[in-house]
């Protein structure tokens, strides 16, 4: 079974401080991992995917297969980063399920 765990429901960070949103997964294969973001009154949208290895809006995420983690990081938080963040996993073999974690509400304190 595939499962995504985000241990923090709420996270508050001061503007300019580093941000780290934790995500751990369990899956008995090679997963596809994503971070999705939901800003206030907007649709859920893709932030980044692990295969891209790129920085989006200053955020990066590295897949650590040994620790089965895919934490989201940003060195300097900005007020517009306040949103709900979801880590997601999809099997890359057969099963088309796209499973989300419980989400972390990030609040940036001015």
Catalog residues that contact another protein under the rule CB under 8 A: 32, 34, 36, 43-46, 49, 51-52, 84, 86, 88, 92, 96-103, 105
Q: Which is nearer to another protein, 12 or 75 (CB)?
A: 12
Q: Which is nearer to another protein, 36 or 70 (CB)?
A: 36
CB of 14 to another protein, least distance (A): 22
* Cα–Cα dist 75/59, whole Å: 8
C-alpha separations of 37 from 19, 28, 75, 94 in Å: 15, 26, 18, 26
* Cα–Cα dist 103/22, whole Å: 10
Q: Which is nearer to another protein, 13 or 89 (CB)?
A: 89
Phi, psi of 79 (to 5 degrees): -60, -35
CB of 59 to another protein, least distance (A): 16
């Amino acid at each position: 079974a595939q499962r995504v765990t985000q241990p923090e429901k709420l996270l508050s960070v001061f503007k300019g401080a580093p941000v780290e949103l934790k995500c751990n997964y369990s899956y008995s294969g090679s997963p596809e991992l994503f971070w999705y973001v939901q800003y206030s009154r907007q649709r859920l949208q893709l932030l980044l995917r692990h295969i891209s290895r790129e920085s989006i809006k200053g955020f990066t995420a590295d897949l650590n297969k040994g620790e089965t983690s895919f934490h989201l990081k940003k060195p300097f938080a900005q007020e517009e980063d306040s949103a709900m963040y979801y880590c997601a996993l999809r099997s890359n073999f057969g099963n088309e399920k796209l499973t989300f974690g419980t989400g972390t509400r990030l609040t940036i304190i001015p």
